[in-house]
Structure 1
């Protein structure tokens, strides 16, 4: 384990009751680094509700009196998340957290750990100096206010609609099959998927959109959330079954998702994609523009 945290601060594992404090911390960091707050408290609550996640064994909070000023956690094999309150930067806390995460990863047998940081941010520069390499680049893309995505007709017999409760496992299969084509990780347990979708605070049935084929099978999925205090419709996940691609189904889902979000009061729409998917060009062609760029920096542990 690393030496005691610098500056006379205290540490302890996080608890579920700390979700709001972590949200406040992450929001302050995002506001300083990208000029807006992207994180939602529901993101943290639903992540921590995953049955597979050992919050007590995989997290650390750094406290200055009663204030949470930094934190780190490791979820799954290699996904790390950290934040340091901007007022507490330059004290060695970020370096201490990076060491803590590497020690934890080695104890758990992780071959590598990585975390997302805004490109060019203090966190990005710190991790680069500590030897963390760029694994992939991510873009947050927005549909300009007032713009619309060109509509595509569905093939005959296909339909787009709200997912039915009995289709949740089929939805999970479509998403995981697609994401595991390019993401080197274990298959997400269905119970974890439930925790972050239907179990997410504020979830409403319309958030989960599907395309079904003439046989009624789920062949495309979009999870669209309302964020930014109700102003933004955010497509959190989008996937089409491999044998159903190149039929315009992804574009249909985008049009539907953003229209549904607008019908529920949002004024802008966005999503993120990364360099592993090869989908950046698709979103740019339908009129979306890059709003911020993030890099996933990682370090090998063996």
Structure 2
């Protein structure tokens, strides 16, 4: 096993026996590895859940954030033939992502990547670090065996093809439109980020990072970001809800990536209105299905199942508590 010097990650904690992987290579990933990562993650998703939701644009959107240093935050393990067998990324704080392609599981790669992530997170002063894995999967068994504990549960949902969400009537002075202006895009950023921060323990993303994952994501179209506005007492408009969605290239579905309503405008049907709106627009663009995900921190599962959506997969977020002097997860 060799390490590419031109893009070498900090391998502290990555304990792999070179003799067990003759001719394999460990190196930091590059931007042009995004397709290989998406392929590896898709293989894992298909094996673990029977469905594929990841696409290369997801990886590109994450990696093009100004705050993300690919060389410093990633590690890839490549076979002697150059195939990406496993990878991990730790951008900071308490979240990471990783996968091991199914044919290469059971060789210690998952454990080595977990050790690497924990070592990096510990060095950054994180108290814990974790990631979501499909319930009942190899990943869940591995991380629980390493002492990772469950933080929350999340669900992927899909609207059956024979179900439609009725679009509720908007009160006078309310309207939905594409977020194309600088003011609307900035307001959508605040509404979405502030709402997610009510239950997510992280710092507010910068606008530049937010834009990288939304407006600058490959394939973005103006209708992918819609905002619900209302007339303010001052006579001006204010954005009180926003939704960001994409067309999933795997099976042509509209995937709602982010949906939020400002705290002072909730329980007025705005989330339902935005879902009905974006699903209707999606149909005009040839969408064949409608999907989203939520987790137990938001309390929104009942909203979506009440609209007729059905759970297609369940995930658990497992995390390791990091001691200052501990050498592993």
TM-score in same-fold range (> 0.5):
yes
Q: Does the 8 A contact of 1:142 with 1:270 survive in 2?
A: yes
Name which of 97, 102, 105 aligns with 1:86: 102
Instruction: Give the aligned partner of residue 298 of structure 1.
Output: 319
Please give the secondary structure, in 1, of the residue aligned with 2:237. Answer: coil
Displacement of 1:120 after TM fit? 0.6
Structure 2 distance, partners of 1:63, 1:155, is 56
Instruction: Give the aligned partner of residue 260 of structure 2.
Output: 239
Q: Does the 8 A contact of 1:37 with 1:228 survive in 2?
A: no
Displacement of 1:3 after TM fit? 5.4
Q: Deviations over 1:60-96 (max 9, x none)?
A: 0001121110000012312110010100001011011
Instruction: Give the aligned partner of residue 21 of structure 1.
Output: 36
Q: Deviations over 1:22-79 (max 9, x none)?
A: 1111111111111121101000001000001111111100011211100000123121
Is 1:45 aligned with 2:60?
A: yes
Structure-2 change in CA distance of 1:228 and 1:35 (3 Å): farther
Is 1:288 aligned with 2:299?
A: no
Please give the secondary structure, in 1, of the residue aligned with 2:278. Answer: helix
Structure-2 change in CA distance of 1:275 and 1:3 (3 Å): closer
Displacement of 1:237 after TM fit? 0.2
Displacement of 1:230 after TM fit? 5.3
Please give the secondary structure, in 1, of the residue aligned with 2:311. Answer: strand
- Over aligned residues, Cα RMSD in angstroms? 1.1
Q: Greater CA radius of gyration, 1 or 2?
A: 2
Which stretches of structure 1, 4 residues or longer, exceed 3 Å deviation after superposition?
none
Gaps spanning 5+ residues in structure 1: where?
none
Displacement of 1:10 after TM fit? 2.1
Structure-2 change in CA distance of 1:4 and 1:300 (3 Å): closer
Is 1:204 aligned with 2:225?
A: no
Is 1:155 aligned with 2:171?
A: yes
Please give the secondary structure, in 1, of the residue aligned with 2:243. Answer: strand
Structure 2 distance, partners of 1:223, 1:234, is 9
State TM-score, norm by structure 2.
0.90
Displacement of 1:276 after TM fit? 0.2
Gaps spanning 5+ residues in structure 2: where?
1-11, 324-329
